[in-house]
Amino acid sequence: MHKLRAGPERRGVGWGSPMGRGRSGSGHAARLFGVLVAAAVALTTVAPIPAQADGAVSLIVLEAQSSTSDVAALIEQAGGEVTAELGLIDGFAATLPADGIAVLSAHPDIASVMADGQVELTGWNYAGEDQESVAMITNSIANADHYWNEGFTGAGIGVALIDSGISPVDGLTVDGKVINGPDLSFESQDPSLTYVDSYGHGTHLAGIIAGRDDAAPAKITTKEGKRYFLGMAPDAHIVNVKVATRNGATDVSQVIAAIDWVVQHRNDKGMNIRVLNLSFGTDSTQSYLLDPLAFAVEQAWQHGIVVVVAAGNDGNKSRLRNPATDPFVIAVGAVDANSTSRTSDDVIPSFSSCGTADRHVDLVAPGQSVVSLLAPGSAAATEHPGSIVDGRYIVGSGTSQAAAVVSGAAALLLEQRPNLTPDQVKAVLTGSASEIRRVGATCQGAGVLDLKSAFGYRTPRAVQSFPHSEGRGSLDAARGSSRVAHDGIVLEGEQDIMGNKWNGASWSSLAALGASWSGGTWNGASWSGASWSGASWSGASWSGNAWLGVSWDGPALLIV
């Protein structure tokens, strides 16, 4: 889940020696793993917002998930004016007098109030001066280089990235770095777009997870982390499963099909998929116990795949996005580490969803203004050129980036201890996390990812005992409020993108057996090549050619 920010790269990228981020007590981890703790939501203070010449301030106002108020009316009552409704992020663009900001921010139905430009409808946003290089994250914040120095770089571990594709740029072109799975996106029939990241999100995350400059030497240590672009697990490989288009459009049925494919092909030759990164989510209207997307991620988990999910960018007061709502997976929130190795100055960004007492983030990782790889010609690059750094990087903020950091961390841990179960990986990462003082457990979970502490953390006998999802609920409810549409026709109801009827009981039975894919067929239809022909939504049919170059309204899944 992301927002992009711009500005000159901070000087001193990669400087400083790696330092451990101290823990506040051994009992903290045991108290948090597998136990949902009720705690107050800690709100952070945003940077001063510049006023316009007339004293009005341009703002983005995000509505709390539980809101029952007319937020537009609240803005007007505070002396402001709504300039646009941003339905995708449950918010409004508005202008407000400076003295009305505090009044609006204090209202319980308002998740956050931030400067316009920090959040945009597409999810990309602009940065101030505080940017976090991946080198700073790996060497001094998350301490991935502690693993590198001990000879663990993620080698042999496959991380599946279900996202917007990956572009072949330096850092992702080392032989064997990226393995292309199926392209299940609406762009799959255009040979020039197959597997490629036209949106810019997937490439950015792939760099964080496992980027490795072509020129980097074979042996990776802290020193190389300062000289070359290296992701968290620079020798892990990424399995690229594309589901989203240039505008982020994708449907829940595409993502479920992608997860099913990952589960069934996890042990294929050269794959060894041990980690799955999902940096998106929906505002599903049903319990995870029924939700088919939650069931899909649980199947991955039960088949030995560590599922890392971005919490959401809806504001500190907001519940987690689906499937982060599923308690088995690792739900990751964002932290702003302020470019230091200590936790005393860490804050939770205002955009990061914290969750509720019943289900909140499991831990947090760097997700504020992260400098990672650019997909040239992507929507991110062309629509936000000010976010580009040195021609090959782009700056992104969000729980998407934080999830990518944790996915890379899981790959390092699994190379060190290949026999760990997903439950044990979650227990080690949360148990070794560094607590942020004066921040409630709802917003930080166990604390900030700390791989130096994780390296020697004793392997626990961890078994999560939450009730399992049955997956027999509504596919349409899993979509939540945002849907893909084409020519004014919205994909809705109990049908997938091929127009096939959805039967949750039948699908969940096949998925549990690892048999939901049969060759290139999923849910009764072929999802490859020109096989899109014959699909129908609400009476509208299309042929294969109809999918080329069309504009899809979306995204149905919020990229966070």
- pLDDT, position 61: 82
**Distances 79 to 61, 93, 217, 359 between C-alpha atoms, Å:** 14, 14, 59, 36
- pLDDT, position 527: 83
Q: What is the average per-residue pLDDT within 345-365? A: 95
H/E element, 161? strand 158-163
Lowest mean pLDDT among 99-108, 162-171, 192-201: 99-108
Output the CA angle 356-59-284, nearest 5 degrees: 35
* Residue count of the chain: 560
pLDDT in tens, 456-480: 999 999 999 999 999 999 999 999 9
H/E element, 39? none
Q: Are strands 237-242 and 158-163 parallel, antiparallel or unpaired?
A: parallel
Contact 280, 312 (CB under 8 A): no
The answer to whether residue 333 scores a pLDDT higher than 70 is yes
Check: CATH 3.50.50.60 for 3-41+128-455? no
Q: How confident is the model at residue 112 (pLDDT cuts 50, 70, 90)?
A: confident
The answer to whether residue 88 scores a pLDDT higher than 60 is no
Contact 488, 552 (CB under 8 A): no
Contact 71, 61 (CB under 8 A): yes
Specify the DSSP class assigned to residue 212: B
The answer to whether residue 27 scores a pLDDT higher than 60 is no
- pLDDT, position 116: 47
Q: How confident is the model at residue 419 (pLDDT cuts 50, 70, 90)?
A: very high
* Span 56-115 CATH architecture: 2-Layer Sandwich (3.30)
**Distances 90 to 60, 84, 115 between C-alpha atoms, Å:** 10, 11, 16
Q: How confident is the model at residue 138 (pLDDT cuts 50, 70, 90)?
A: very high
For 118, the 3-state DSSP assignment is coil
Contacts of 162 (CB under 8 A, 6+ apart): 241, 243, 255, 258, 259, 262, 276, 277, 278
What tokens appear for 285 in the block?
């209207």
- pLDDT, position 551: 52
> What is the CA 94 to chain-centroid distance, rounded?
27
The answer to whether residue 18 scores a pLDDT higher than 60 is no
pLDDT in tens, 423-459: 999 999 999 999 999 899 999 999 999 999 999 999 9
For 146, the 3-state DSSP assignment is helix
Average pLDDT value for the chain: 82
Q: How many CB atoms lie within 10 A of CB 145?
A: 27
Beta pairing partners, 389:
393
- pLDDT, position 312: 94
- Per mean pLDDT, which of 50-54, 312-316, 489-493 is the most reliable? 312-316
Percent of the chain residues past pLDDT 70, beyond the cut: 80
Q: What are the sequence ranges of the domains in the chain? A: 3-41+128-455, 56-115
DSSP of 250-269, one letter per residue? --HHHHHHHHHHHHHTTTST
Distance between CA atoms of residues 427 and 462, nearest Å: 7
The answer to whether residue 66 scores a pLDDT higher than 80 is no
pLDDT in tens, 518-559: 988 999 888 864 444 455 666 555 444 444 444 555 556 667
- pLDDT, position 338: 86
Environment class of residue 513 by beta-carbon count within 10 Å: exposed (0-12), middle (13-18) or buried (19+)? Answer: exposed
pLDDT in tens, 232-274: 999 999 999 999 998 888 999 999 999 999 999 999 999 999 9
